[in-house]
Amino acid sequence: MTKQVRNTAAKTAVMEMLSQSSTALSHGEIYQSLAETCDRVTVYRILDRLIEEGVAHRIALSDGTVKYALCEQCGDGHHHAHSHLHFNCVLCGGVSCLEVEIPHVQLPRKYKMHDVSLVVNGLCAACNS
């Protein structure tokens, strides 16, 4: 039997927060906004669980920073595809999932591609004015 899922106040709060946010959030940002209401470790575990449940996904920026975003923000809800790029605004720091397909990349002979991570750094629409 598959492990059952329980909805807790902390988990709901994290999801609510990710859902409200226009930008992907780091563990630290989430933990701080939840100020005192739950433990650091709990936030890590909730995020891990959300990812395992397919509700959220991890985004590693080009400097190594890790952010989290809900998956609905990055697909049409119907077919869930993770082959989209992530945009990191160097001005406001915002990180967002763009509905842009990752172009096909040709690898050298014998290489086998599993998945691709593409992060674009630049100015977002709001900051580029």
Binding site for DNA (CB under 7 A): 3-11, 26-28, 37-42, 44-46, 48-49, 64-66
Least distance (Å) between residue 2 CB and DNA: 9
Least distance (Å) between residue 57 CB and a copy of itself: 11
Q: Report the partner that residue 35 touches, choosing among DNA, a copy of itself, Zn ion, none (CB closer than 5 to 8 A by kind).
A: none
Among 43, 50, 97, 124, binds Mn ion (CB under 5 A): 97
DSSP string over 13-74: HHHHHHHH-SS-B-HHHHHHHTTTSS-HHHHHHHHHHHHHTTSEEEEE-TTS-EEEEESGGG
Nearest to 87 by CA among 77, 74, 105: 74
Q: Report the partner that residue 92 touches, choosing among Zn ion, Mn ion, a copy of itself, none (CB closer than 5 to 8 A by kind).
A: Zn ion
If the CB atoms of residues 55 and 75 are measured against DNA, the closer one turns out to be 55
Q: How far is CA 95 from CA 36, 68, 90, in A?
A: 25, 9, 9
Chain residues in the site for a copy of itself (CB under 8 A)? 58, 60-66, 85, 87, 90, 98-100, 102-125, 128-129
If the CB atoms of residues 14 and 74 are measured against Mn ion, the closer one turns out to be 74
Q: How far is CA 80 from CA 15, 18, 27, 59, in A?
A: 18, 18, 23, 16
